[in-house]
Amino acid sequence: MSALPPFPELPAPIAEYAAARTTDINSLSNPPPWDLGALPGEILEPVLAWLDAVCRWLNQTYAWQPHQVIPPCWQQHEHLAYEITAFAFTRIDATVDPGAAIVWHEQYDRFINRLNNALGKSGDDCRVGRHEPRPARFALSAWPSENPADKPT
């Protein structure tokens, strides 16, 4: 058997940020590191780099079928970025005990199912490097503007 690649280590800035949220009273109001949209830039950048390494690890270690591959354009799919982030952080918890590891592996199947449901037919194109903007863009444009100045009079 060849050497099995280890799960990507959480970079120090993210680990320190997460630890401060649980130990420093002044940091309790900071968003959790898995809430991508709320993170400050100095934390978001290393989180995204770590998540890219996690995606590569998941693809190398677990993706045996085409539908299991996380596409390289995952950051352009906001819904996937949130899913991947939550799943990656739960992997850290899975190292605590064997029962947690079993649950994580069960969650992997659910994660792949949500990934494929979210990507739909565009997933095949994305997986081979042909990313297109959001397929539902026409439906989203039908929503009225939140800005009252943009509403017709």
pLDDT in tens, 109-132: 999 999 999 888 888 888 888 887
- What pTM, to 2 d.p., does this model score? 0.83
Whether residue 138 is predicted with pLDDT greater than 70 in this model: the reply is no
Model confidence pLDDT, tens digit, residues 7-28 = 999 999 999 998 888 887 777 7
Model confidence pLDDT, tens digit, residues 62-78 = 999 999 999 999 999 88
Beta strand extents in 3-143 (DSSP E only): none
Give the span between the Cα atoms of 15 and 13, in whole angstroms: 6
Tokens of 20: 């401060």
Give the span between the Cα atoms of 39 and 23, in whole angstroms: 18
Coil vs helix vs strand at 39: coil
Whether residue 52 is predicted with pLDDT greater than 70 in this model: the reply is yes
* pLDDT band with cut points at 50, 70 and 90 for residue 151: low
Whether residue 152 is predicted with pLDDT greater than 60 in this model: the reply is no
What is the chain's Cα-based Rg? 18
pLDDT value for 75: 93
Give the span between the Cα atoms of 98 and 117, in whole angstroms: 29
Give the span between the Cα atoms of 36 and 43, in whole angstroms: 9
- Of 75, 73, 52, nearest in space to 122 by CA: 73
